[in-house]
Chain A
Amino acid sequence: MSTDTTLPPGFEDLQRFADLALPTERERNARRLAGPYEQLKDLYDHVLPRLDAIFDYLNPMGMDLPDNAARLSNLALMLAEVAPAVEFYQQPDVIDGFDPGRFEIFQ
């Protein structure tokens, strides 16, 4: 298994978030729940302003992405994962929610 976590050229500013660019929703959710919140908020604050640039880069490639582009896409998906934590709850998990450990994500 490759340990390369390089993002495509032009996205060096987001490189420090690359280890949060996990490939499955289950892993991204587990990572969000693990926190800390400050790290999720940091990702939110820095990836959101770059979203247009991310999709300008990725969309012409369709769905067949090389490894570093797939990593960038996964970083955008991690923004989707942490968005409610930042925008709704201001903490990693749902406030007064059902135990996420008993919630199964199939993808």
Chain B
Amino acid sequence: MTLSTDAQKVTRWDKKYPALGTGPVPVTPCIDPAFFELERTRVFGRTWLYFGRAETMPNAGDFRVKKFAVSNAEVLVSRGNDGVLRAFHNVCPHRGNQLVPGERGCAKLFSCGFHGWGFDTDGSLRFVPAQQQFFDFDKRDHGLKPVAIDEWEGFVFISFAKPPLQNARDYLGEMGAGLTGYPFHTMTQNFKYSLTYNANWKIALDAFQEFYHVSLVHSRSLGKTVRSKENPYSNSLDIKVHPLHRTFSGYANPGFAPTPVEMAAFKSGISMAERFAKGGSGAGSRADHLPPGVNPTRSANWSFDVNVVFPNLAIDVLDGMYFTHEFWPLAVDRVYHEVNMWFPPVRNASELFSRQHSAVELRDSILEDGANLERVHAGLKSGAITDFILQDEEVAIRHGHKVIDAFVYSDDPLSTATGLAREAR
């Protein structure tokens, strides 16, 4: 068996997706404050936005608060006594005070710290001090202001659109269908990290939606798991453009030689480096228990898939663990990057060691990625270049920018995006 046949093949994504073109991609949307103002409403105001995992709020009264700076909003998601998750603006309807000051917890009642209005976990107003002094007042008229919420495979999304274009399942579409059945809900052990870069949010996202950088940026660390002599630039096994989203499937180096601690981690439990690199253990061995959207080519040399959910979430899926990247714009030149790794619950010290080792390796590789982002933003701001020159393997970036354009400039972005994603026959 020739291990890397599938990766050696020069797949021409431009032939598969002719509507995306091959031309340069303008940099203006990454540095123009006016474009960013349009993105606030035309992109982030119209799409589903990732809130968090449902398992982190399992019980009645569990709540989380998340800031959406790009929408100047804070959203409170709370699980009611009926078990239903609901989303609200974290704003007291009385005078506009921030209702819940913390980030998470469990509550029977949300009580405003300004005048003591109290709200049930389903958002209804329960208690108003000196209620008889208000005018024509009916508590039923003054519940928390709802925000649209929907759930797909335990991923909780909210939307500021009134109403959202589609439900979350339809929004995730074909990509979501291909991932359905992956055991996300069993992976409850979490490692969480965050960084804030002085860079546009798309510069950060784009650094995580191509493998072209891997051979250089990660040459000392994880790069060796996903490139080989046969595939020196870590070309993707497959790239699939969905109308709004995109999946690219990563190559694994069958000749990967682990370091001593990586080898110890392999023996001890789920190890990211091992999962990245162990594809050579036999054709099909990694495929059968995974849904069709994971390792879609059923390659024995598969490492992991990057599933970019429009606009700013990446769900990176391995066999046995996954991680998410969120890129939240704070300003045209500032982005908050949150990373969450998810594993099955740990049962003993050696499993904890292997998971922690995976987390450290991912953390260090993100520091390697992060170093370039502020330099790129500074470079773009200088005006020295007007366009990105993208190669075929950077098609996810090309697609991402075109879908953003569709949302910013089109009143029917779904149709525009569907046209962009049409495959050549």
A residues with a Cβ closer than 8 A to B are 25, 29, 44, 48, 51, 54-55, 58-59, 61-63, 65, 69, 72-73, 76-77, 79-81, 83-84, 87-89, 93-98, 100, 102-107
Contacts and interface: CB of A to CB of B under 8 A. Distances in A.
Contacts of B163: none
B191 A25 contact: yes
A96 B371 contact: yes
Main secondary structure of the interface of A (DSSP, over half): helix
Please name the 7 residue pairs, one residue from A and one from B, whose CB atoms are nearest each other, closest first.
Answer: A98-B370, A97-B367, A58-B349, A83-B261, A80-B357, A106-B192, A55-B350
B220 interface: yes
B394 interface: no
A94 B244 CA distance: 35
Contacts of B395: none
Given A25-B191, A62-B348, A88-B221, A77 B367 contact: no
Interface of B: 190-197, 220-221, 259-262, 264-265, 268, 346-350, 352-353, 356-357, 359-361, 363-364, 366-371, 373
B367 A55 contact: no
A88 B262 CA distance: 11
A98 B348 contact: no
Given A76-B349, A96-B368, A83 B195 contact: no
Nearest to A51: B264
Contacts, number: 116
Contacts of A94: 364, 367-368
Contacts of B366: 98, 103
A22 B221 CA distance: 24
With most chain A CB atoms within 10 A of its CB, the pick from B191, B192, B194, B350 is B350
B193 A104 contact: yes
Main secondary structure of the interface of B (DSSP, over half): helix
Given A96-B368, A96-B371, A98-B367, A106 B193 contact: yes
A59 B195 contact: no
A17 to B, nearest CB: 15
A103 B193 contact: yes
Contact of A80 (B192, B221, B353, B371): B353
Contacts of B348: 55, 58-59, 61-63
With most chain B CB atoms within 10 A of its CB, the pick from A25, A59, A103, A104 is A103
B347 A63 contact: yes
A58 B350 CA distance: 8
Contacts of B361: 83-84
B195 A104 contact: yes
Contacts of A95: 220
Contact of B352 (A44, A77, A98): A77
B352 A105 contact: no
B362 to A, nearest CB: 10
B103 to A, nearest CB: 11
